Amino acid sequence: MPSNTEITFSVDVAAARAVVIGALEAEGYTLSPSTPGWSKATRGSMPLTLLLGGLAGKNFHVGFLVGERVDEQGRASFRIDRDLATGAVKGGAIGAVRTDKAYVSAVEAVAAAARRAGVLVEHRTIA
């Protein structure tokens, strides 16, 4: 299973950020600044997840790190990182599967939004 994805845009960081945020918010995520250049995207309920684990259903808490950078050609690039181990700790095998599905769905939502906007350059899995 991939652990990280990088999506490169043909536009500047501000325009690409709007696409990324819009796509993730449409998937139910809230973004909050983490460290410089990185934000945390989360959805679900941590208390319910800790109480019910993988059985929390749509309320299962998932989170990803979203980093932004500009490549040597001036294009915006966003990296979406996840930690499958955290999902497993919170919900066992069911939690790991829920985390994986949520990650894939989030990445696909961002790539699809970039494609619709005509600004997708590349969508690739990185180690």
Domains annotated for the chain, with CATH where assigned, are 4-126 (3.30.310.80)
Q: Are 122 and 7 in contact (CB under 8 A)?
A: yes
Which amino acid appears at position 51 of this protein?
Answer: L
pLDDT band for position 12 (50/70/90)? very high
* pLDDT value at residue 15: 95
Mean per-residue pLDDT over the chain, rounded: 89
Exposure string (b/e) for 4-30, b if CB count within 10 Å is 16 or more?
Answer: bbbbbbbbebeebbebbbebbeebebe
* pLDDT value at residue 29: 96
Beta-bridge partners for 7: 78, 123
Q: Are 124 and 22 in contact (CB under 8 A)?
A: no
The answer to whether residue 79 scores a pLDDT higher than 70 is yes
Q: Are 8 and 121 in contact (CB under 8 A)?
A: yes
Beta-bridge partners for 67: 38, 79
Sign of CA dihedral 126, 97, 42, 30: positive
